[in-house]
């Protein structure tokens, strides 16, 4: 049986070019990048080359990139590092209800520390209203943190407009770009953001490494202590091999981005069209415009999504019910509930996220597997309403 992977928003396989770049760093380039001898400086050279590669992907300067252990740490560093160092009287943060848990939980932690947090609602399309943001701003607002692309429904926020509104008010802007980096063209200067997070394993790099863009002059304090690494932004011996892998993945993503984005969008549309034409009681969640090209989230009424995930896995198709970090949760997706879905429909929704290895033939096979699995599960369902 063939096994095909349609869960690239959870993680991606490391690209061959990334594996090739990693090899020497695991065996030959073993020095500590902070050491001044030959072995340390050899590691330092690889680290700084990787920093340039990552910076190029998002239109930043190399010295504005901070390596982290992943997207979660990058988001925590941005949110906690900015807000905890705020001046007295500036203790208000604005975010949205559909953020990744690494942002939502960081904001909840700030609330426990006495910071006021406003959670902006989104519409049925998953979009923040710029007018709502404008109304939520206060003289005490220190940070606006919103995700560039949603990990479950793929919606792209109007980040330029959001950043312009916030910066006009003198407020720092952080964007969680973990699901947009490598999928759409990004220029942090053009977007107008001050902080931007990304993760290696979402762009065919290794797990356990990420990066945070920090605009020069942004008053960001550390959340880890113990050394002067990463220009005093992030203590700890640098993960040189991870950074090199991330750098290779970033260069690869930037090199083929326009063509790959167009190809993936065509495959996503083919998948949606096939399912909606052949499966009754199915529909796309969220906005079908202004989203990343590889992602769709589809509901299947009168089903439990977990049962469909298992049924498709038995047919060799890997999909998910949403965020991998929330797997095992009995609660319906907070993102799908935030855009207005009932608990029943949220629990009946599947995320399909395509990647480099996927082909039209695989998509067509997936459509057939979905059609057959849904029909089978509905016949078995005791709550069938059709």
CA distance 242 to 137: 38
List the catalytic residue out of 25, 107, 325, 383: 325
Which two three-digit tokens encode residue 340? Answer: 């207005």
Q: Which regions of 148-276 does DSSP assign to beta strands (E)?
A: 172-176, 195-199, 210-214
Q: At what angle do helices 240-278 and 360-380 cross, to 10 degrees?
A: 60
**In three state form, how does the secondary structure of 89-118 look?**
CCCEEEEECCCCHHHHHHHHHHHHCCCEEE
C-alpha closest to that of 11 among 259, 353, 366, 363: 353
CA distance 27 to 36: 19
Residue 290 DSSP one-character state? S
Residue 257: which residues within 8 A CB-CB, separation 6 or more? 182, 183, 184, 185
Pairing of strands 172-176, 195-199: parallel
The verdict on whether 107 is a catalytic residue reads no
* CA angle, residues 180, 300, 351, in degrees to nearest 5: 20
Residues annotated catalytic, as ranges:
325
């Amino acid at each position: 049986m063939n096994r095909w992977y349609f869960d690239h928003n959870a993680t991606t396989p490391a690209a061959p070019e990334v594996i090739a770049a990693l090899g020497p760093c695991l065996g030959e380039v073993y020095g500590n990048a902070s050491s001044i001898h030959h072995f340390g400086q050899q590691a330092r050279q690889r680290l700084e080359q990787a920093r340039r590669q990552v910076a190029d992907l998002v239109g930043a300067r190399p010295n504005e990139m901070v390596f982290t252990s992943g997207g979660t740490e990058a988001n925590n560093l941005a949110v906690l590092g900015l807000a905890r160092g705020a001046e007295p009287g500036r203790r208000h943060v604005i975010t949205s209800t559909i953020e990744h848990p690494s942002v939502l939980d960081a904001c909840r932690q700030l609330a426990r520390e006495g910071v006021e947090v406003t959670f902006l609602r989104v519409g049925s399309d998953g979009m923040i209203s710029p007018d709502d943001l404008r109304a939520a701003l206060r003289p005490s607002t220190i940070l606006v943190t919103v995700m560039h692309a949603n990990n479950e429904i793929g919606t792209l926020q109007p980040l330029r407009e959001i950043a312009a509104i916030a910066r006009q008010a003198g407020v720092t802007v952080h964007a969680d770009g973990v699901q947009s980096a490598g999928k759409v063209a990004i220029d942090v200067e053009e977007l107008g953001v001050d902080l931007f997070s990304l993760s290696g394993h979402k762009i065919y790099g290794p797990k356990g490494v990420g990066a945070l863009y920090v605009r020069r002059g942004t008053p960001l304090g550390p959340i880890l202590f113990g050394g002067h690494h990463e220009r005093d932004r992030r203590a700890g011996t640098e993960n040189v091999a991870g950074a090199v892998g991330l750098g290779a993945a970033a260069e690869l993503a930037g090199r083929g981005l326009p063509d790959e984005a167009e190809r993936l969008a065509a495959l996503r549309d083919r998948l949606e069209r096939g399912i909606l034409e052949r499966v009754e009681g199915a529909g796309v969640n969220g906005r079908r415009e202004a989203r990343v090209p590889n992602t769709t989230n589809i509901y299947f009424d009168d089903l439990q999504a977990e049962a469909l995930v298992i049924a498709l896995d038995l047919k060799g198709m890997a999909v998910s019910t949403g965020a991998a970090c929330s797997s095992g949760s009995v609660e319906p997706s907070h993102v799908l509930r935030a855009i207005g879905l009932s608990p029943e429909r949220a629990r009946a929704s599947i995320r399909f996220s395509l990647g480099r290895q996927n082909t039209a033939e695989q998509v067509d096979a997936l459509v057939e597997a979905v059609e057959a699995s849904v029909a089978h599960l509905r016949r078995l369902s005791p709550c069938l309403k059709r």
